[in-house]
Amino acid sequence: MIITIGGLAGSGTTTAADVLSKKIDIPFISAGSIFRDMAKEKEMSLIEFSKYAEDNTAIDIELDKRQSEIAKNSENLIVEGRLSAYFVEADLRIWLLAPLDIRAQRVSNRESKSLEVVIEETIIREESEALRYLDIHNIDINNFDIYDLVLNTNRFNPDSIAEIILTTLKVI
């Protein structure tokens, strides 16, 4: 079974993928980790690398290729990433969302940055990514039509989110 979990920064995709992975005993990969690794390879901050990627379509194409190849060679896998649903043949496609202030608070706690800085960085990053996705792939990140399940993570803890996904798996 192949599952994709997408969402904006701080929406809980990595946590949901991790909890679900443990509950159903299948591995997960993260497009965000791949992107951060690529930034490190270029010795850039995440913001710098996001801006760099705006003018370098090879970055997004390489990221999509890396996760797609891993999924193609897997029988069971959770693929976590904003655009994973578009590039991975999946049995279930999930989009997680949450209000900006909640997402920023989560990122602030995770990265030990002030809430104000995180909100500013998040807005810049999301605008940058939205432009790239539309330009490179003609994907509107705010269109959820491709997803089988869209879930507001503000209302549920990680275990509850995993249980909702497991319930959804039983009916498909």
pLDDT tens digit sequence for 111-166? 999 999 999 999 998 998 898 889 888 999 999 999 999 999 998 999 999 999 99
Read off the amino acid at residue 106: R
Q: Phi and psi dihedrals of 99, rounded to 5?
A: -60, 150
Map tokens 């791949």 to a residue: 34
Query: Among candidates 57, 1, 70, which has minimal Cα distance to 31?
Result: 70
Distance CA 172, CA 123 (A): 35
| pTM, two decimal places | 0.86
CATH superfamily entry for domain 2-169: P-loop containing nucleotide triphosphate hydrolases (3.40.50.300)
pLDDT of residue 64: 87
Check residue 50 and give its pLDDT.
Answer: 83
Average of per-residue pLDDT values in the chain: 93
The pLDDT value given to residue 33: 85
Residue-wise pLDDT tens digits, 32-72:
888 888 999 999 998 899 888 878 889 888 988 989 999 99
